[in-house]
Structure 1
Amino acid sequence: MDPLTFDYENLHLRVDQGVFELFDAGRSELRVPLRWLGALVHYKKTGKPGELFIGTVRDPDAPLYGTDPAAFRYSTSPAFRVPPADEPLFRAYFTEVARLADRRAV
């Protein structure tokens, strides 16, 4: 099976053989097994760009995408914002990642 990738601005996300990797502007930022992966685009204000959080969750039964911020054990946020119109792109990618990991997305 080929790696599942997603590119957005300077960000490159990749899943291969049960491992998620995040690269920001060519630098490796995070590498984590899918069973511990959590991701969320968090919006503080309606209509304003949100912030992408990706990291590890305390409970592997937590949703892979749409994770409650309190569920994270560790998270990193690449240095860019996600406009509300682009959130469905992230949701589609992480929903497919959740399917590969036999986990759910909310």
Structure 2
Amino acid sequence: MEKLVLTAAFALACHCAPSHADDERSCEIVAASAQLSGKTNCRDGDVATISGMSTKEVPEAIARYCDFWAQIVVLPDASTTDASSHFVVCKYRRRDAAPSQP
């Protein structure tokens, strides 16, 4: 019985301990330069911060870079004096191009 309890305690400790594989990566995308080059250092599932966008550019950036099945946060960029500047935080999902808008 003592061996069973010890084995169960060890299994529980291993299951609950965080592993490095569970760590989330993060990346940053500056919208203007990413749109010109089309490349980022992000991988699918990374927590992406997209900056350098006007209010009108936010929907296209979300369509291009964000996973629609995860939370997407859009906030005004407090580090600029321009009230129309925003940044987005979302899970990155690679797409070849944003959907074209009619």
TM-score normalized by structure 2?
A: 0.24
Choose between structure 1 and 2: higher strand proportion. 1
Q: Which has the higher contact order (CA 8 A, sep 6+)?
A: 2
- Between structure 1 and structure 2, the one with the greater Rg is 2
Please, what TM-score do these two structures have when normalized by structure 1? Answer: 0.23
